[in-house]
Amino acid sequence: MTRAQTPSVPAPLPLPEPNSLRVLWRAFGYLRPYWRTTLGAYLALVGINAIALAVPQFIRWIVDRGIGGKDTPLLFGAVAALLALTLVKGALRFLEGRWSETASQNVAYDLRNAMHRKLAALSFSYHDRTETGQILSRAVQDVDRVRFVTGRAFLRLTDGVVLMLGSAAMLIWMNPRLALLALATLPFLAHRAFHMARRLRPLSLAVQQQLAVLTTRLEQNLRGARVVKAFAQEDAEIARFDRANTQWFDLSVRSSRLQAINEPLINFIANLSTVIIIWYGGTLVMQGHLTLGELVSFTTYLAQLAQPVRRLGQIIPALAIASAAGTRIFEILDAQSEVRDAPDALPLPPVQGRVRFENVSFAYFRRHRVLDNITFDARSGQIVALLGMTGSGKSTIINLIPRFYDATEGRITIDDYDLRRVTLNSLRDQIGIVLQETMLFATTIRENIAFGRPAAREEEIIKAARAAQAHDFIIATPNGYATLVGERGITLSGGQRQRVAIARALLKDPRILILDDATSSVDTETEQLIQKALERLMRGRTSFIIAQRLSTLRMADLILVLEKGRIAARGTHEELLRTSGLYAEIYHQQLKRKDER
Amino acid sequence: MNVIARSTLSGAAFFAAESKGATKQSPNRESGIASDENRPRNDTRIFHPSSFIFCSMSISIGAASAGMGPRSAIEDFGQYKEDRAFDFYIVARLLEYLRPHWRRMAAALALVLVSSALTLSAPYLIKIAIDENIARGDAAGLAQVALLLAGVFVAIYFATAALQYLLSWVGQKILATLRAQLFRHLQKLPLGYHDTHIVGVTISRVINDVSVINDLLSQGVVTFAGDAVVLIGIVAVMLSMSPKLALITFCVLPLMMLATWLFARQAQVAFRQTRARIAAVVGDLAENISGMRVIQAFAQEEETQEHFDEVNRANRDAHIAAMTLSFIFLPTVEFLGILATGIVLWFGGLAVIGDELTLGVVVAFLAYVTRFFQPIQELSQLYTTMQAAMAGGERVLDLLDTQPDVRDVVDAIEMPPIIGRVELRDVSFAYRGSATEDAEARMSFRAEREISSVSPVAPNYVLRDVNLVVEPGQTVALVGPTGAGKTSIANLIARLYETTDGAVLIDGYDVRAVAQRSLRRQTGIVPQEPFLFAGTIADNIRFGHLDATPREIEDAARLANAHEFIAALPDGYGTAIQEGGVNLSVGQRQLICIARAALANPRILILDEATASVDTLTEMLIQDALARLLAGRTAIVIAHRLSTIRNADLICVVNDGRIVERGRHAELLAHGGLYRQLYERQFVESQ
């Protein structure tokens, strides 16, 4: 729906800066545990280069002395040595690749594990701010980019530099004047390679982005197919898609043109130096200053020289990209969780379930104040119902109890333990939660129910499912409790998911129970089932429930009516009817409707 | 020689296989979606015939690091039907797409021939330089040959650049055309298609499969021609220079083919494994991130970490295993190259010593030998491309061949302005080929899973002999248990599906006789799940009426009780809707959908009442907005909560595909049938 903007010509990619070098340095630090294999790979690299530099000399011997000097034994010996050296080189290459790959794949593995660990430790406020897609792309693509640099990219870079310097040295050693002449094209080559890499990369990024736009356009169209058809907007949709498509085509063609002009140009420059060598070198041979074998080996070195230059042109941008990727990765790894165990945190002993809020205020990101001076006392076993409009602070209150967030001001206690003085795990272990968006994992129903207590026995699981009114539909599924949920398995309806979530909370047998918008997107019958399950679940526990229905309100020992982050009224249903205008209004709206039926 | 060509290739392969789009620029194989990211691109297969020559001496030495990496064995992310290398029908249909560009393709072919010939001529020129100029001390001749060589290189440059540009242009044009064609086609497909196909899969058809086809069409065809020419040319030149030496050298060929074949088979499996493993990592991570609240709520961080570690480790090991294969393969290829070089040096050298050959021939041979292996590698890669294109092509053509089952008849008339009388006459309806109970549920937005296992059995009627007349301006409520057929009735009125028997008439016009668009332009729908498109709130409200003024948008929002909350947002109507509208509450999304329908100002409104619960006050806002929206229009309301339909002019109780009761609220209550049961159940439960 957004009008696509005409993509501007992207700016050339900047070269790595000192700051990004620091990021790279840190990324390379992940190689430390694998220093043996890394060192091995670089040693193998040295061996490979030594052989690569020696081989042209063999060819020189073969041409000059073997063939030119008609020395058959030398010819045979040199050819055999060439093959033997290649075998050794092959073995070294295998080791080099294997070792460096192992090390860098381990870097990726460690990074991903570290990210996962960090993400699990970060509090809700972090996850509120970040999008799943973004984290995923960091954990997948960005890690891969860093891995690439810590592994093969840097190896190839070193390889290129060593080979280039070695070849240049050999050239100069063999014939300084011819060498300088041959090396003359090198700066051009380097310039073109760098120039090309820096200009092309942003352009190809723009192409990819435009493809992403195209994909989004398509996805939106498919997901909204019903709306598109209902509003007869097919033509407008086609026009929109065509616009994005045309833009993609234009960008792609521009990128192709750049490539078509520049890529062969690099080859052309390299080839020109060959012409120079043949011409001038040939002249030298004729004058007797150079042997034919030397000329042949000269061109070999020259080829080895040109290759790394081009490679550098590709790797330097990769370094810049990897450092940007590394920055994004370390941003996650360095994120501070706003909710952490205090250094002297104690495990919370089994609680009775008395929950007290003392002058609690809370502001998201320290700006939007959503709770203002909340004080209440929920005694063990009580049902506390929270009522109020969207954004009045109901969800925030229940999120503070398991410390998904920390209160900005005031304190919360359970059985007189300040929440901030106990360990998170021991606290959350005693709280059962049925969240608003029922999230199940793509595994079996059994594992989903046993999520909080993986060691639970089968009978316990079934008991929980029965209590949650879920048993009947579960055994009606193809594999009963072993049925997979999610994409690879069956799709559960909203009501079914909810009942599994209730069973999950029940199995934990928590002292404190939190229910957020527990009945949504289900039909009347299911709602009834869930209602029954919930009543059973709340029995004998301190329960906090975001109330949507009168039956819950009637059941509650304490109703908190929230308005703009404050408790506007509190009491039982009967009390509130008398004392609170807001409550009475809400109540009568519902009652009025019921009377009319 | 073709050290340079090779190194370009090796660079490309090396980057493609390694950095996954991080560094490689590729016009044709962009990775727009994540699943595509792991696929290396091989567009550099476009020729680099400009590679030279004298450097042939260097042969594979040092440079042959990675001529043909794993890329040769990597195909698309996704499952292919294997063993299908060639299907003439598919190829023929795909080649059709080249037809509009035949001039460019012909030019490309000509350029391939020219640049191949030029490339092959370079080693020959060097042979001349050595044998006839350098050996005989002919400086002037050497200068001439050198200039000629430089000229050849210039020509090669232009030919290559033009060729590369032409091929990319055609390739991208075909991509754009195919995508546009698919998109158009998707707009024509009935909702039934969208209900039964996973969105991601369809996207992958339009984005990935299409680019695989393009690989074959624009690159493959020319690569094949070019490689064949080069191969034949080299064989011919080598045979003409020295038949004996040529035949001896060709002995390495079977070994090379064997090695390539073995590797390709292994690598295909190994790299498929890596894709499966990384997909598992992504899947696990995605699930854990979106379930992080649950994980933390249940204090399961450690257990989840352990599981992720397993998946992560499997991914690492699969990658190392796959790369190890190429670490074996590449040195093997390099060794075979050197073996061929050794053969040339040894036998050629002996021949030179025996004065049977000149040194120039040996040098030229060295150049041709290296050049020789490249087309073979590329051709084996082409086979993989072909396989991928066959599978991709089949899927794309399948999609294009899917016939929309709701189509305008040839002589469809424009629906005149609707007054609003709706009649269903003896309507029966069965979903095509599906016999599942949850047919109705499938039609909701949620149901995106592919229902392929459903066997095409005898039609299972969702509706039977439904008769219903709605007078202009009336509100009709459809109630009944889930799966009774309520949604089907509504869909038939909007002609989102075609009736199996009977007819739907609007103002006396059979909906099948009128153009779909003219009908739908006058009908509005408020879906059960409030779907918002990415874009601004204003964009969403004006969706059905694109040229609406800001004033009209605001009026519609006011009518829908949405203006207040929209105006309170920092960017007001310009607020961008995030993916799936997550930045708005369900209630707010519903209000926006109501505003959208209000702005479109349809004569007939279909309202699928939302079941998602919203807080009491928002619910009141919604009810209030709906009451205003419905006023003066013919409305079909699919009701889930009986409380909302007390005022309906007619309530139809649908059960098992039939209207079992009809009447007003009080009448139906008095009647004491199913409606009363439903009503009492709801009433009791909210006590």
Put simply, the chain B residues between 504 and 533 with a CB less than 8 A from any chain A CB are: 516-517, 519-521, 523-525, 527, 531, 533
Cβ A103 vs Cβ B319: under 8 Å: no
- Give me B139's structure tokens: 């400086």
Name the residue among B160, B179, B340, B324 with its Cα closest to residue B247: B340
**Mean pLDDT calculated for residue range B328-342:** 86
Give percent of chain A above pLDDT 90: 18
Closest residue, chain B, to A167 (C-alpha)? B62
Residue B304 contacts A, CB cutoff 8 Å: yes
User: Closest partner residue to A112 among B27, B281, B646, by Cβ?
Assistant: B281
User: What integer best gives the mean pLDDT of chain B?
Assistant: 74
pLDDT at A265 over 90: no
For the segment A422-446, the average pLDDT, to the nearest whole number, is 82
Asked whether the beta carbons of residue A141 and residue B301 sit closer than 8 angstroms, the reply is: no
Residue A447: pLDDT over 50? yes
B406: nearest CA in chain A? A229
A95 pLDDT above the threshold of 90: yes
Of the partner residues A156, A216, A249, the one whose CB lies closest to the CB of residue B172: A249
Question: How many whole angstroms separate alpha carbon B152 and alpha carbon B50?
Answer: 9
User: B677 and chain A: CB distance < 8 Å anywhere?
Assistant: no
- B470 token code pair: 């709605």
CB contact under 8 A, A116 and B305: yes
Task: Check CB contact under 8 Å for A120 and B341.
Answer: no
Label residue A356 exposed, middle or buried (CB < 10 Å: 0-12, 13-18, 19+): middle
Q: Min CA distance, B92 vs chain A (Å)?
A: 25
Q: For A282-303, what is each residue's pLDDT tens digit? A: 888 888 888 888 887 887 787 7
Of A116-120, B46-50, B210-214, B637-641, the poorest mean pLDDT is in B46-50
Rounded to a whole number of angstroms, the distance from the CA of B37 to the nearest CA of chain A is: 8
DSSP state of B39: -
* Tokens 């063993």, residue located: B83
Going by C-alpha positions, the residue among B36, B169, B210, B163 that lies closest to residue A249 is: B169
Looking at residue B57, what is its pLDDT? 30
Residue A366 CB neighbours (<10 A): 10
Task: Kindly report the nearest CA distance between residue B89 and chain A, in angstroms.
Answer: 28
User: Which residues 386-445 of B are in CB contact (within 8 Å) with A?
Assistant: 441, 445
Q: What is the structure's pLDDT at B500?
A: 84
Do the beta carbons of residue B69 and residue B263 sit within 8 Å?
Answer: no
Contact A277 B327 (CB under 8 A): no
Kindly determine whether residue B686 and residue A163, on different chains, have CB atoms separated by under 8 Å: no
Contact of B582 with chain A, judged by CB distance below 8 Å, is answered with no
| Interchain contact B205–A (C-beta under 8 A) | no
pLDDT band, residue B11 (cuts 50/70/90): very low
Stretch(es) of chain B classified as CATH 3.40.50.300: 408-522+606-621+642-687
What average pLDDT is seen over chain A?
82
| B487 at interface of A, judged by CB pairs closer than 8 A | no
Residue A548: band (very low, low, confident or very high) from pLDDT cuts 50, 70, 90: low
pLDDT greater than 60 at residue B49 = no
Domains annotated on chain A, with CATH: 19-333 (1.20.1560.10), 342-430+512-597 (3.40.50.300), 441-509 (3.40.50.300)
Residues of chain B with CATH 1.20.1560.10: 3-401
Choosing among B2, B14, B23, which should be mutated to test the A contact, i.e. which has the most A CBs within 10 A?
B23
Residues 6+ apart with CB under 8 A from A169: none
Stretch A164-173: mean pLDDT? 87
pLDDT surpasses 50 at B4: no
- pLDDT tens for B559-574 read 888 898 888 877 889 8
Cβ–Cβ gap B328/A94 under 8 Å: yes
Higher pLDDT, B222 or B349: B349
Quick: pLDDT tens for A374-431: 999 999 889 998 887 766 788 889 889 988 888 888 999 999 899 989 988 888 888 8
Q: In what order do the strands lie in the sheet with B523-526?
A: B523-526, B604-608, B634-638, B475-479, B650-655, B658-663
Tell me whether residues A136 and B34 touch, CB distance under 8 A. yes
pLDDT computed for residue A437 by the predictor = 63
- Residue tagged 């209630």 (tokens): B587
Mean of the pLDDT values across residues B524-541? 80
Q: Are B407 and B507 in contact (CB under 8 A)?
A: no
Predicted pLDDT at A356: 93
The DSSP code sequence of A240-294 is: HHHHHHHHHHHHHHHHHHHHHHHHHHHHHHHHHHHHHIIIIIHHHHHHTSS-HHH
**Is A230 within 8 Å of B48 when comparing Cβ atoms?**
no
Q: Most A CBs within 10 Å: which of B132, B289, B405, as the mutation test of the A interface?
A: B289
Between chain A and chain B, the number of residue pairs with CB atoms below 8 A apart is 557
Interchain CB contact of B151 with A (< 8 Å)? no
Contact status of B488 with chain A (Cβ, < 8 Å)? no
**B3-401 fold:** ABC transporter transmembrane region fold (1.20.1560)
Residue A381 gets the label, from left (phi > 0), alpha (psi -120 to 50) or beta, of left
Q: How many other β-carbons are positioned within 10 Å of the β-carbon of residue A44? A: 22
Report ipTM (2 d.p.): 0.77
**Chain B residues with CB-CB distance to A506 below 8 A:** none
Do the chains contact at B27 and A275, CB–CB below 8 Å? no
Give A-chain residues touching B139 at CB under 8 angstroms: 283, 286
Q: Name the minimum distance, in Å, from the CA of B192 to any CA of chain A.
A: 10
Instruction: Name the fold adopted by B408-522+606-621+642-687.
Output: Rossmann fold (3.40.50)
Q: Do A2 and B536 touch (CB under 8 A)?
A: yes
Min distance A556 CA to chain B CA atoms (Å) = 14
Tell which wins on pLDDT, A162 or B451: A162
Is B447 at the interface with chain A, CB within 8 A?
Answer: yes
Structure tokens at B128: 């001349």
Rg over alpha carbons for chain B, rounded to the nearest Å, is: 34
What is the DSSP annotation of B490-515?
Answer: HHHHTTSS--SEEEEEETTEEGGGB-
Residues of A in contact with B54 (CB under 8 A): 274, 277-278, 296, 299
pLDDT band at B136 (very low <50, low <70, confident <90, very high): confident
Q: Give yes or no for B282 touching A (CB within 8 A).
A: yes
> What is the percent of chain A where pLDDT is above 70?
88
Q: What is the pLDDT of residue A39?
A: 95
Contacts of B288 in chain A (CB under 8 A): 116, 119-120
A321-335, B578-592, B612-626 — most confident range: A321-335
Task: Return the SS3 of B336.
Answer: helix
Q: How does pLDDT run across B352-379, given as a tens digit for each residue?
A: 888 888 888 888 888 788 777 777 777 7
Task: List, for residues A51-81, the tens digit of each pLDDT value.
Answer: 988 888 888 888 888 887 788 888 888 889 8
Residue B642: closest C-alpha in chain A:
A597
Q: B59 vs A56, which has greater pLDDT?
A: A56
Number of H helices, E strands in chain B: 24, 12
For residue B22, list chain A residues with Cβ-Cβ distance below 8 A. Answer: 141, 144-145, 148, 318, 321-322, 325
Helical (H) or strand (E) element with A519 = none
Summarize pLDDT for B560-617 with one digit per residue, the tens. Answer: 888 988 888 778 898 887 654 556 777 788 888 889 888 888 888 888 876 555 666 7
pLDDT-derived band of residue B456, with 50, 70 and 90 as boundaries? Answer: very low
Do B5 and A267 count as a contact with CB atoms less than 8 A apart?
Answer: yes
Closest CA relative to residue A507, chosen from A470, A541, A544, A465: A465
